[in-house]
Amino acid sequence: MSDSNTRAYLFKFRGSDYVFCRTAGHGAEAQAQVVQKVSTGELLIRKVSKNRLDRSKCIEPNEFHLMEEYLSKPPRSPDIRPLIPEFYGYEKIQSKNGLFHLVSYWQLINGGSVKDLIMTKYNSIKHTKFNPDKRFPARLIARMLHQVFSSLQHLYTVYKKPIFHKDLHPGNIWLHFAPSGDGELSDIPDFYLGDFGYAGWDFGFNPNHMATRDIDQVMEWARLLICINLPEHQRPPRDGAVPYPDDPQRGRTIPGDAPMTAILSLYYDFCHELKQFKDQAGRRIREPSCPPPDLSNFIRRAEALEKKLTPSLTGLRRL
């Protein structure tokens, strides 16, 4: 290189060379780096664990096992189209002090998270303020519900027992803008389900377990995105209370905003069906023997609304 002060960090993994591009972030357990595969130019995420351990104690985490053995398998139904970052594998690397750390390689998801979106574009994760100039496209809320529920349905059906995510906060719903045919990134993101560090099965009675916990969390983030679009008096309540189907408030239209009216109606319908499931399950909802609800109907209806609202869509990257 012409600049003698510039260094290129080169890594080898499974016979291929990768060059370091930049640091992507720091988590509690690992540092994330963006690396480029030399032979193809493809960008990947390289995660380097922060803990250095004896080789015998440097054990594959649960997330790697789930990705390799279950989540990378094809879905049980063609109607299920999960969006889960691809896991390319891992290795143990020895440090200068003789200890080892885990290094894993993942698909690069390029759009940040739903949490990033709310924090950077729409003020606060907990206290959103209505701004008519910063509205979140209604179709993208339907798209998030459709795609995240499809990924959850894959978790719940790919194995004989449902796999629960257990940590579905908005920082773990990731946006990815796929390249289009001309090489430009799409204006419309896909919503990926990420970070399976806490995912797995529940055994025995667990007071913190609930068969609908993952779904409840997705619905809460959908509610927050809806709130961004509405003045306070029109927002769905935070406590999850849902008007009954014959309540006039349930069928209320939002003047001049047919897409958000449709989203709000779908949100209330889903909340009502979840409440019915919980009422029928009773205390069993906290037992591992209680499976989560079948999300097939939720997926179909959210996808249908997404397609219906397509003409109203403004690209998120232009907001």
Is residue 240 pLDDT above 90, yes or no?
Answer: no
Any bridge partners for residue 106, and if so which? 45, 87
Contact of 103 with 49, CB cutoff 8 Å: yes
Name the pLDDT band for 232 (thresholds 50, 70, 90): confident
Packing angle between helix 258-281 and helix 213-228, nearest 10 degrees? 160
Q: What is the reported pTM? A: 0.87
First to last CA, the chain: 39
Instruction: Domain 10-107: give its CATH superfamily.
Output: Phosphorylase Kinase; domain 1 (3.30.200.20)
Contact of 102 with 31, CB cutoff 8 Å: no
What was the pLDDT predicted at 252? 65
Looking at domain 114-318, its CATH architecture is Orthogonal Bundle (1.10)
Sequence spans of domains, the chain:
10-107, 114-318
- Average pLDDT value for residue range 212-226: 91
Give 44-97 pLDDT, tens digit per residue: 999 998 887 787 777 888 889 999 999 999 999 988 999 999 999 999 988 878
Instruction: Give the closest residue to 19 by CA, choosing from 2, 41, 4.
Output: 41
Is residue 193 pLDDT above 90, yes or no?
Answer: yes
CA distance 38 to 10: 9
CA distance 164 to 243: 29
Is residue 4 pLDDT above 50, yes or no?
Answer: no
What was the pLDDT predicted at 101? 87
Is residue 28 pLDDT above 80, yes or no?
Answer: no
